[in-house]
Structures are given as structure tokens and as C-alpha cells.
Amino acid sequence: MKQIFNIIRDLLLIAFLAGSVGSSFPARAESLQHPRRTPIVDAFQKNKDAVVSITGKQLVRQSNPFWGFEDWGLFRPRLQARPFLGSGFVLDDRGYVITNAHVVSGALEITVIMADGSQFPAEKIVASESMDMALLKIEPETPLPTVALGRSDDLMIGETVLAIGNPFGYQHTLTDGIISAVHRDLQIENKEFPNLIQISAPINPGNSGGPLININGSVIGMNTAIRRAAEGIGFAIPVDQLRENLAKILYANIEHDRRIDFGAQIVDFSRPDGQNQTTVQQKGVLVQSVLPDSTAARAGLRINDTITAIADTPTNSAVGFYLELLEQKLNQQTKFKILRNRNGSDDSPKKQLNISVTLIERPKPDAPALALQMFGLNIYSLSNQQAEKFGGAAEPGYIAVSSIEPGSPADNSGIAKGDLIMAINSTPIQNLDSLGYKLETITEGNLVNITLYRSKTTRWGYEIRQFDAKLRTQSNNKKPPQNRVDL
């Protein structure tokens, strides 16, 4: 009888201990409940809610059905609105979404669709065709799930990678592969795409802009479907390159497009060699440069200062800093917490300072005055009726030449009255603002390439010809802004 009692006691003790171990280690219990749950499943679950679909309508130029007969005026180029589809992922829980620039190029409207099916109209904050990245903003009612950005300087050939996106409209599709190569340079349609990650995971139309993640669930790149004929091969922009370039784009957008006088360029601290992903990164961001007589300079910000917080929000990345700066109101003081080296020494303890910066808006450049000063061009904006003579090649607001000053650089360049200014040094010109911003960056005496359209009436309609004019700027008594990032 005693032996039976001891057996029952031991069984009860084992059951109690098993229950205690199960409650202490839920992960082990979950593993037993889901024996098929792999690191790939975990990585997808970690990021899926932060991956979005991006759709809308964009303007595309109608193809010419009369190839080879352009000079006969049989074809009037038209811009048509067509639907587009791409992917993206949430960088900031306030609604900042990143994608490829080619996904939203020429977009008339943009809609972001979350994993739960909710839809939001999106505003394009900034885009760079040369870097193929664009930042969108939506207005969610509650904070959004975000991805965790990893690093791309320690990638291994052969390591497993995962791509999440919407190939051909199939939302939240997961594909896997390996890293086939790094530092891959491509040239597609006269555009260079340097330092890409080559992967075996297929990247199809609709995948562009989605995240490339590693087996730990960290984003290591942004997928881009730039080689459409490729099969079983894909490319991605490395996340370190994405961080650096997006910070540059945001700086240029704040300083030159939004005309906000801040004047300090912010960068991430360099990662020490050998530092792994679990190493705690240095807090704050680094002030790389400060423009003389800027708001930042007048407030006392200096080169090599460390900014640890802006408006009481801690900051540990240059991208995060600029996103917070975009949220600040103009003409109000914004408080910065900074750390500064004592006596210029990196070894001594840093002193903590609080400074206040008042962001103000600079007036827009006077595009007509700059065009006249630099080239001798008198210009005007096209009306609806005037745009019609260019068929679908021009929109109201585009810039045309009204007259040319005798003896000016434009006088002997081949430019004539009525010509349409389409681009300057490959930067598209679509209105007075874009023309003024571009002319503001050109240094006195530089050789400039201006792309123009010329319309000619024929018996079949309007004949549109494109040509380039090269001319050197004359003195305009101005200096270009320092640290300009020409995108």
C-alpha cells in the first residue's frame, strides 16, 4: 500500500513540475504546439503588418503607333492616366511609408492599403528618381506597426533572405531565396543603379518597394523590379544605402523644396568595425555641417555636436531626426538636446546643452528674374489653351519662352520664342517653382544643358520636336546654396 502511495505522490509531483516548466517557458510550449513554425515564419509574422500595397493612377506617355514617321506629324504624343501597383513598408508609426520612386512616378493619386485592408490616401513627401526611392505620408488614426531596420554591411553570400510584396497584385506574397551577390552595379535605360544586392528570390512587377528581410526578421534592403525580363533573379537597394540617401533627400527637401531655413546637415554615427546587430548603437545623431548665418548657426549649433532629442523626442537616426523636424511648426521654437565635446577633446566627458531653434520659411526664388539674368530668357507659364498646341506633351503651368535678349547666352543657342523648357541638366521642369529651384543651384559660368520642345503646325496637326541647347550662364551676382544635394 505504501508503495502505491509513493507512486501516486511521484506522479503528482511530476505533473506539478511539468505545469510549472510549461508556464515558465511559453516559447517552448508554443514550439511544441507549432512544430512547423520555422524562423522564416517568425520573420514574416514580425513584418507582415508593416508591409503595404501602393496603388493609384499615374500619367504615362502613349506609345507611338507610327514609329519612323514622327517627322510627318502623324502622331500627337498624349499622356494617359493608367493604374499602377507597387509595395512599400512603414518606417515611422505616424504614417511615413517608403517605396521605389518609379512606383509613384507621375502619380495623379496614391492609395496605401494596409495588411488589414484599410486604405489611406497618400501624399508624396519627397522622391528621387536617381536613387529610386520615395517617401509617402498617410494619416492613420492610431500608430502603425513598423519594420525593424537592420544593416547591410555584413551580408553573406548564400544567406537566406525573404521578400514580401504584391507581385502582379497578389498581396502579401512571401518569396525566399539567397543572396547571390553584393555590390552589383546595373545600368537600365541610361540610368545607373549602383551597389545593389542580387538575390535569387524572384522580384516581379508589384514587388517594387517592398522589404527584403533576413532570417532574423530585420530589413536589409528594399526590393526593386528594375530588370523586368529577369527570371529567378531580383535586386534590392541595401538598407545602409537607403538610410544614407533618404537622409540626404530629406535634407534637400527641407532646405530647398520646402524652403525651411534650418541649415544643419545631420548624419548617423559611423558603425565601428566588427560591431554586430545586438551591439547597442551610440545614442543621438551627428551634426556634420552648419551653414553660416543659418537658423541653426544663429541658435548655436556646431559641427560635431551630438543631437540626442528634438522637441523632447529621442533621436537615434538621421532619418528619424528629419522626420521629426518635418513635424515641427514654423515660426515656433523647437528645443534640441545636445552633447558637446569639452575643449575639442573626444576623450573628456561631454557637456549637455539645450538650445532652441526657430524654423522659418525662406521666400521662393524668382524664376523669371533668374532666367533673364542667367540666360537672357523671358518666360511665361502655359495656359490651358496654350498647352493644347503641344498635344499631350505639355500641361498647363509648363514654362515657355516669350522672347530672347539680344547678345545673351540664349541668343546664339538655337532657342526660339515659343519653345517649351522641359528639363535643365536632366531635372524635369514642370512649373515656375521647379524652374526657380533648379536655377538657384547653378553656379555662375557653368555650362548648362536645356531640353526643349518645339511645336510646329502641319496639315495633320501639331508636330513636336525635342532638342537640346547648351549655353553658359552669365553673371547673376549670386552664389549657389552650400551643401546642396542635387537630386
Instruction: Pick the closest to residue 312 from 284, 330, 328, 335 (CA basis).
Output: 335
| 84-93, 154-163, 269-278: range with lowest mean pLDDT | 269-278
- Give yes or no for a contact between 176 and 161, defined as CB atoms under 8 angstroms apart: yes
For residue 407, pLDDT over 50 is answered with yes
Whether the predicted pLDDT of 72 surpasses 50 = no
Q: Confirm whether 132 is a catalytic residue.
A: yes
95-131 burial: b if 16+ Cβ within 10 Å, else e: bbbbbbbbbbbebeebbbbbbeeeebebeebbbbbeb
For the ranges 271-280, 285-294, 380-389, 471-480, the lowest mean pLDDT is seen at: 271-280
Catalytic, out of 53, 92, 102, 268: 102
Whether residue 353 is predicted with pLDDT greater than 70 in this model: the reply is yes
- Of 77-86, 238-247, 302-311, the poorest mean pLDDT is in 77-86
Q: What is the pLDDT of residues 432-461, one digit of tens each?
A: 988 998 898 888 888 999 999 887 766 666
User: What pLDDT is stored for residue 456 in this prediction?
Assistant: 75
What are the domain boundaries of the chain?
A: 2-37, 45-137, 160-235, 258-361, 367-472
pLDDT at residue 483 is higher than 90: no
Q: Pick the catalytic residue from 92, 132, 240, 261.
A: 132
89/219 Cα distance (integer angstroms): 10
In this predicted structure, what is the pLDDT of residue 430?
A: 86
In this chain, the answer to whether the domains covering 160-235 and 258-361 adopt an identical fold is no
Distance CA 451, CA 430 (A): 12
If you average pLDDT over every residue of the chain, what do you get?
83
Please state which of the ranges 32-36, 55-59, 138-142, 366-370 shows the lowest mean pLDDT: 32-36
Res 162: pLDDT: 96
| Catalytic site includes residue 183 | no
Domain 367-472 class in CATH: mainly beta
**Rounded Cα gap, residues 255 and 291, in angstroms:** 11
**CB atoms inside a 10 Å sphere around CB 61:** 12
d(CA 131, CA 127): 8
Look up residue 278 and give its amino acid.
Answer: T
Could you tell me how many residues make up the chain?
Answer: 487
Burial of 273 (0-12, 13-18, 19+ CB in 10 A): exposed
Q: Which CATH number fits domain 160-235: 2.40.10.10, 2.70.98.10, 3.40.50.1820, 3.90.650.10?
A: 2.40.10.10
Phi, psi of 91, deg, nearest 5: -90, -35
The one-letter amino acid at 429: I
CATH 2.40.10.10 fits 45-137, yes or no: yes
Residue 215 CB contacts under 8 Å (≥ 6 apart), including other chains = 39, 40, 43, 159, 160, 161, 162
Instruction: Calculate mean pLDDT across residues 338-365.
Output: 85
Q: Can you give the C-alpha Rg of the chain in angstroms?
A: 28
Separation CA 228–CA 453 (nearest Å):
30
The predicted model gives 328-335 an average pLDDT of 93
Give the model's pLDDT for residue 312.
93
Q: What is the 3-state secondary structure (H, E, C) of the chain?
A: CHHHHHHHHHHHHHHHHHHHHHHHCHHHHHHHHCCCCCHHHHHHHHHHHHEEEEEEEEEEECCCCCCCCHHHCCCCCCEEEEEEEEEEEEEECCCEEEECHHHHCCEEEEEEECCCCCEEECEEEEEECCCCEEEEECCCCCCCCCCCECCCCCCCCCCEEEEEECHHHCCCEEEEEEEEEEEEEEEECCEEEEEEEEECCCCCCCCCCCEEEECCCCEEEEEECCCCCCCCCEEEEEHHHHHHHHHHHHHHHHHHHCCEECCEEEECCCCCCCCCCCCCCCCCEEEEEECCCCHHHHHCCCCCCEEEEECCEECCCHHHHHHHHHCCCCCCEEEEEEEECECCECCCCCEEEEEEEECEECCCCCHHHHHHHHHCEEEEECCHHHHHCCHHHCCCCCEEEEEECCCCCCCCCCCCCCCEEEEECCEECCCHHHHHHHHHCCCCCCEEEEEEEEEEEECCEEEEEEEEEEEECCCCCCCCCCCCCCC
> What dotted CATH number matches 258-361?
2.30.42.10
Q: What is the dihedral of CA 475, 478, 482, 485, to 10 degrees?
A: -60
Instruction: Of 40-54, 69-83, 414-428, give the range with the top mean pLDDT.
Output: 40-54
Estimate to the nearest angstrom the gap between the alpha carbon of 239 and the chain centroid.
12
- Predicted local distance difference test score (pLDDT) of residue 344: 63
pTM score of the predicted model: 0.74
| CA 46 to chain CA centroid, nearest Å | 23
The answer, yes or no, to whether residue 482 has pLDDT greater than 50, is no
Residue scoring higher pLDDT (259 or 9): 259
C-alpha 248/C-alpha 289 separation (Å) is 13
Give 409's pLDDT tier (boundaries 50, 70, 90). Answer: very high
Residue 208 annotated among the catalytic residues of the structure: yes
Whole-angstrom distance, CA of residue 404 vs CA of residue 375: 9
**Helices 318-326 + 239-252 axis angle, to 10:** 30
What is the sign, positive or negative, of the torsion defined by CA atoms of 165, 167, 168, 171? negative
Find where cell 525593424 sits: 148
Q: Decide which of 389 and 251 is more confident.
A: 251
Encode pLDDT of 37-50 as tens digits: 899 999 999 999 99
Catalytic residue among 128, 180, 208, 413, which?
208
pLDDT of amino acid 369:
94
Q: What distance in Å separates the CA atoms of residue 372 and residue 476, rounded to the nearest whole number? A: 9
Strand partners, 97: 90, 136
- pLDDT given at position 35: 79
The residue with cell 511521484 is: 10
| 133-137 vs 219-224, strand pairing mode | unpaired
Q: Are 399 and 419 in contact (CB under 8 A)?
A: no
The model's confidence at residue 230, banded by pLDDT at 50, 70 and 90, is low
